[in-house]
Amino acid sequence: MEEYTYKGSLKKVFDFIRERKVTTLCEIIENTNLSKRTVLYAIKKLEAMDLVYISICLNDARRRYYCINIA
58 neighbors 50 (Cβ within 8 angstroms): no
Is 19 inside a domain boundary?
Answer: yes
Classify the C-alpha dihedral 25-30-33-35 as positive or negative: positive
Is 44 inside a domain boundary?
Answer: yes
Q: Is the pLDDT assigned to residue 70 strictly greater than 90?
A: no
Q: Is the pLDDT assigned to residue 1 strictly greater than 50?
A: no
Is 41 inside a domain boundary?
Answer: yes
Is 57 inside a domain boundary?
Answer: yes
Percentage of residues of the chain with pLDDT beyond 90:
73
What mean pLDDT comes out for the span 58-71?
86
Is 3 inside a domain boundary?
Answer: no
Is 64 inside a domain boundary?
Answer: yes
Q: Could you report the per-residue pLDDT of 5-25, keeping only the tens digit for each? A: 567 899 999 999 999 999 999
Backbone angles phi, psi at 66, to 5 degrees: -105, 125
Range of the domain at 12: 8-68
For the chain, what is the domain count? 1
Is 1 inside a domain boundary?
Answer: no
Q: Could you report the per-residue pLDDT of 25-36, keeping only the tens digit for each? A: 999 999 999 999
> What is the distance, to the nearest Å, from the Cα of residue 62 to the centroid of all Cα atoms in its chain?
17
